[in-house]
């Protein structure tokens, strides 16, 4: 794995952990009612999507089981059409999909350690 990919993956991992901290103890109704939390989660998703766009094609092709395009596409919608986002979907992504994504990133990072 390229050093730059490893660095980017570590940054993505940190952003995913940030989402966990932001929504900790927050149910859907609390999330919907709290503009600050909604914007913080969306901004963090934007950061993740932007970082993904800087990963090498080799890394994303080798790990094509990870939904890179879906996540970076969400970045585009969150950045350019924020008002069109369904916050229920953002909450579901944060609660259900980000933990899965975190584990996938950890697997890629751990796999690269064993090949060094």
CA distance 68 to 23: 22
Across the range 69-78, mean pLDDT stands at 83
SS3 81: coil
With 80 as the cut, is the pLDDT of residue 82 above it? no
CA dist., res. 88 & res. 59, Å (int): 31
Model confidence, pTM: 0.89
The pLDDT assigned to 75 comes to: 80
Region 9-28: mean pLDDT is 96
- Is pLDDT above 80 for 8? yes
The predicted pLDDT at position 116 comes to: 47
Which residues are CB-neighbours of 61 under 8 A, at least 6 positions away?
none
Tell me what the pLDDT averaged over the chain comes to: 91
Average pLDDT over residues 60-88: 86
């Amino acid at each position: 794995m390229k050093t730059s990919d490893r660095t980017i993956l570590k940054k993505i991992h940190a952003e995913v952990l940030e989402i966990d901290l932001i929504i900790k103890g927050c149910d859907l109704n609390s999330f919907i009612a709290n503009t600050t939390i909604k914007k913080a989660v969306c901004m963090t998703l934007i950061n993740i999507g932007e970082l993904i766009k800087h990963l090498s094609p080799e890394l994303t092709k080798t790990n094509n089981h990870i939904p890179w395009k879906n996540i970076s596409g969400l970045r585009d919608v969150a950045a350019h059409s924020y008002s069109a986002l369904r916050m229920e979907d953002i909450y579901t992504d944060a609660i259900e999909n980000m933990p899965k994504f975190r584990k996938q990133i950890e697997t890629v990072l751990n796999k690269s350690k064993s090949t060094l």
